[in-house]
Homo-oligomer: A and B are copies of this chain.
């Protein structure tokens, strides 16, 4: 039978991401950022968690470089695009570069940005599987060298075995304050 998923030994008394509890009482309601949470996921979400950001990055991966390209491809409004590009540049995900052809600005993925590819692909694969297009896959990613499709993103143990969600356990690392 479906055993209960004790994913985490890490009992929850050990609060993983400490919630905010400061003098926000009766005060103007600001959005909480996730900065205070000592959690890598929250850190990442702070950067790429906004509505348009991942789509901009997707477009980057597909080769878009110019403001106008993003604008046209996504149908995003300029002010939002400006804002998102700025934070992406500030965060070192994209970098501005002057085009040698026409001297205008190109937005190019940095190494940090390129390393977001697993995130993008995981989400794309999930969508492929669970929210499919009736006619089949929309975009297939292939190994440039062999031309064969890449594997679906999956979790692997040290030995390379594919692991199911329940095969994984979370343990506290040194960066987790257990005060």
Please list the residues of chain A having a beta carbon within 8 angstroms of any beta carbon in chain B.
2, 5-8, 10-12, 15-17, 19-21, 32, 34, 37-45, 47-49, 51, 54-55, 58-59, 61-64, 69, 72-76, 109, 112, 114-151, 153-161, 163-176
Contacts and interface: CB of A to CB of B under 8 A. Distances in A.
Contacts of A145: 157, 167
Given A19-B74, A167-B144, A40 B155 contact: no
A89 to B, nearest CB: 15
B168 A157 contact: no
A99 B123 CA distance: 31
Nearest to A39: B138
B167 A158 contact: no
A27 B72 CA distance: 20
B127 A118 contact: no
Nearest to A3: B136
A146 to B, nearest CB: 6
B21 A120 contact: no
